Amino acid sequence: MKPARLAITALLLQLFIVNAYSQEAQVIDQVVAVVGGEHILLSDIEQELLRQKMEGSPTGENNRCNVLEQILIQKLLLTQAKIDSLKTNESSVEMEIDRRLKYFTSQLGSEKALESYFNKPIYEVKNDLREAIGEQLLTQQMRQKIVDKVKITPAEVKSFYKNIPTDSLPTVPEQYELQQIMIYPPSTEEAKLQVREKLLEIRNRILQGERFSTLAVAYSEDRASAIRGGELGFRYREELVKAFADAAFSLKEGQISQIVETEYGFHIIQLIEKRDNQVNVRHILMKPQFSGDMLAQAMSKLDSIATLIKADSLTFEAAAMRFSQDKKSFLNGGLVINSYNNTSLFEKEQLQPADFYAIRELKEGEMSSPFESRDEHANVVFKIIKVKRIIPPHKANLKEDYAIIQNIAKVSMENEILQEWLDKKIQSTYIRVDEPFRNCSFRSKGWIK
């Protein structure tokens, strides 16, 4: 199971466990440790142990000690974050709450089922999550602040790779190196004009008294915000694309923007509230729609390009430079860069579903037929993809997986810096660990004073 999937599963289990404790009241709670002004409860440890048990991890007295130490570290970071006056971004907290609730809802089947399970309305479930998520984000900020200056040189990466046991290296799944020729549907201006007219009509309806939030639910193509009436939550300017931010920050409360074009499509925006350098807005997003004739024209153009390449009248690289509308790859012969790791290598899960479906049976050097896909902003595009290279599953090595080795080495250095910080901070912070945990063999010295 992927680490990200394990983390999400853990979050769901944690909510289930919290609910089980609240419903069954099987644990008589007590404070078992104090870090600065932060208390650690016995139930905090028992909940984490129960989560691990549900995932099949071994449990035992030593594991209880390990769990406690992890919580002690989190509380120490949280205490320092408060001393340093670090603040959580409210919009980031709300976005994380929404992300988790979407996952929980998908697991239980519906929002109503979620409310039924916890025997409380959705807003109370959100409130239960808000404090915990805020603390988690503060802890992450503090950790990043401690290790922020860690830099790693190529020589250090090579030295790390030379000394790490082979068994400790990760297995890299099958990877693909791809080139593409990408074009947008023709008659784009006509499609843009049509979507502008639709948005103008919606804007006029709002000005005449209809509720922005109601029309957002009905028409906005940003479905993540549409279910909240188009509301995005508080965002800093740098969290928004420039054209959207410029429009949002220029509005007065309740005011509706003119039509705003961004790489995501076309928007109308309503300012809900402005707070310092943040805004909370609603928006309605609509994207240009293309007729069947427009889409057929795009496919026909790619067919003609593919015919030239197959007839050796044009190399794929030359065709990409001449015809591709992908600004990020056309000057590089169509070589696609993976935004996840900033390399040219992609794992299956990092590809657009349509892209993987088009190349899944191709061999190295082969080229796909033209197909419809989406760009990074979910706009309709058409592509031809050439498989430049396929790398089979293998143990990570310095030649093919430098970025992976570099990241492992950097994390190792960060952990060393963090451990040094912990050892010093433990000595200068009020810490109390109560029975029955005073006999634990902790990794860091000084927890027991």
Contact 284/216 with Cβ under 8 angstroms?
yes
pLDDT at residue 55 is higher than 70: no
Q: Which is nearest to 449 in space by CA: 29, 31, 35?
A: 35
Residue 263 pLDDT: 86
C-alpha 417/C-alpha 150 separation (Å) is 8
pLDDT confidence tier of residue 54, bands split at 50, 70 and 90: low
pLDDT number for residue 62: 65
Q: Residue 51: pLDDT band by 50, 70, 90 thresholds?
A: low
Token couple for 123: 């807003």
CA distance linking residue 133 with residue 299, whole number of Å: 47
The structure tokens 């010093």 sit at 424
What proportion of the chain, given as a percentage, has pLDDT over 90?
Answer: 56
What is the residue type of 143? Answer: R
Q: Show me where the domains of the chain are located.
A: 3-151+413-433, 174-185+291-392, 188-286
Which string of DSSP letters, residue by residue, matches 415-447?
HHHHHHHHHHHHHHS-EEE-TTSTT---SSTTS
Minimum mean pLDDT range among 54-68, 228-242, 322-336, 391-405: 54-68
pLDDT tops 80 at residue 10: no
Residue 109 confidence (pLDDT): 77
Q: Provide the whole-model pTM.
A: 0.63
Instruction: Give the contacts of 312 (CB within 8 A, at least 6 positions apart).
Output: none
228-254: per-residue pLDDT in tens? 899 988 888 888 999 999 999 999 999
Burial class (CB in 10 A: 0-12, 13-18, 19+), 147: middle
pLDDT at 9: 46
Question: Exposed, middle or buried: residue 107 (CB in 10 Å: 0-12, 13-18, 19+)?
Answer: middle
Instruction: For the beta carbon of residue 234, count every other beta carbon within 10 angstroms.
Output: 21
Q: Measured at the alpha carbon of residue 149, what is the angle toward residues 143 and 153, in degrees to the nearest 5?
A: 125
pLDDT tops 60 at residue 79: yes
Cα–Cα distance for residue pair 434/154, rounded to 1 Å: 46
pLDDT of amino acid 337? 94
Q: If you average pLDDT over residues 73-87, what whole number do you get?
A: 92
**pLDDT tens per residue across span 352-361:** 999 999 999 9
What are the backbone dihedrals phi and psi of residue 81, each rounded to the nearest 5 degrees, phi first? -60, -40
Q: What is the mean pLDDT of residues 411-433?
A: 93
3-state secondary structure 224-276: HHHCCCCEEEEEEHHHCCHHHHHHHHHCCCCCECCCEEECCEEEEEEEEEEEC
Residue pLDDT, tens place only, 88-135: 877 778 778 877 777 777 777 777 887 887 788 888 888 878 888 888
Higher pLDDT, 224 or 196: 196
| pLDDT at 28 exceeding the cut of 90 | no
Q: Is the pLDDT of residue 41 over 60?
A: yes
* Amino acid 336: pLDDT: 96
pLDDT classification of 256: cutoffs 50, 70, 90: very high
Cα separations in angstroms, 49 against 54, 56, 72, 224: 9, 11, 15, 34
Q: List pLDDT tens digits, range 258-273.
A: 999 998 899 999 999 9
Tell which wins on pLDDT, 189 or 173.
173
Distances (CA, A) of 386 to 280, 336, 362, 366: 43, 10, 9, 6
Q: Candidates 3.40.50.800, 3.10.50.40, 2.160.20.60, 2.40.50.100; correct CATH number of 174-185+291-392?
A: 3.10.50.40
Higher local confidence (pLDDT), 1 or 168 = 168
CATH class, domain 3-151+413-433, is mainly alpha
One of 1.10.760.10, 3.40.50.300, 3.40.718.10, 3.10.50.40 is the CATH number of 188-286, namely 3.10.50.40
Domains 3-151+413-433 and 174-185+291-392 share a fold: no
- Other beta carbons within 10 angstroms of residue 396's beta carbon come to 19
Res. 183 pLDDT band, cuts 50 70 90? very high
Sign of CA dihedral 10, 16, 21, 27: negative
**Considering only CA atoms, which of 41, 42, 59 is closest in space to residue 50?**
59
Average pLDDT, the chain: 86
Residue 321 has pLDDT above 60, yes or no: yes
Q: Tokens 């044009």 belong to which residue?
A: 314
Least confident of 154-158, 254-258, 261-265: 261-265
